[in-house]
Amino acid sequence: MKRQKIKYYVVENKMDELSSLAEKIERLADEWSISQELSMKINLVIEEALSNIILYAFNDKSKHEIRISVSKEDNNLEITFKDDGIPFNPLLQKKPDINLPAEERPVGGLGIFLISQVMDEMHYSRDKNQNILILKKSI
């Protein structure tokens, strides 16, 4: 029998929202008996995706809400982000060359790459005025 657990979060487009959200995700991991290692990875992908949205999806100074859901069904973990920013597809970001020496390694551009390494699937879609990013991992 499949049992789905799902939790919803709404955050504002401010970086300092990340800390309180991280604490909530840690509590969720406890509730769902998720290992500390996996909980760290969930926190990582949420931080990377959210900070990208906050930095790049909004070109006005207004307050925006970003909706996040985290769900677990058997061994499948899914994290979804919805925002009403400008069309922004993180999957189009250029992959960093991780073989360069430190002197030549550009600073930055690692966030989305880390998500792609930690998660199994990344999907982006634009629905009316919304960016929808779905991340999946079998755990």
Partner 1 sequence: MNIKSEKVQNFTVLRIEGRIDTVRSSVLENEINQLFNNGEKNLILNCKEMNYISSSGLRVFLVAQKKAIALNGKLMLCNMQPGIQEIFRISGFSNLFKIFETQEAALENA
Q: For binding to partner 1 (CB under 8 A), which residues are involved?
A: 15-16, 18-19, 22, 36-37, 40-41, 43-44, 47-48, 51, 96, 98-103, 105, 107-108, 110-111, 113-114, 117-118
Beta carbon nearer to partner 1, 4 or 36: 36
Of residues 28 and 130, the one with the C-beta less far from partner 1: 28
3-state secondary structure (DSSP) of residue 53: helix
Give me the least distance between CB of 26 and partner 1, in Å please: 10
- Cβ atoms of 65 and 7 within 8 Å: the answer is no
CA distance 39 to 63: 29
Q: Residue 51 CB: number of other CB atoms within 10 A?
A: 13
Residue indicated by tokens 């973990």:
77
Instruction: Count CB neighbours of 125 within 10 A.
Output: 10
C-beta closer to partner 1: residue 18 or 132 = 18
User: Least distance from C-beta 31 to partner 1, angstroms?
Assistant: 19
| 95 vs 128, beta carbon nearer partner 1 | 95
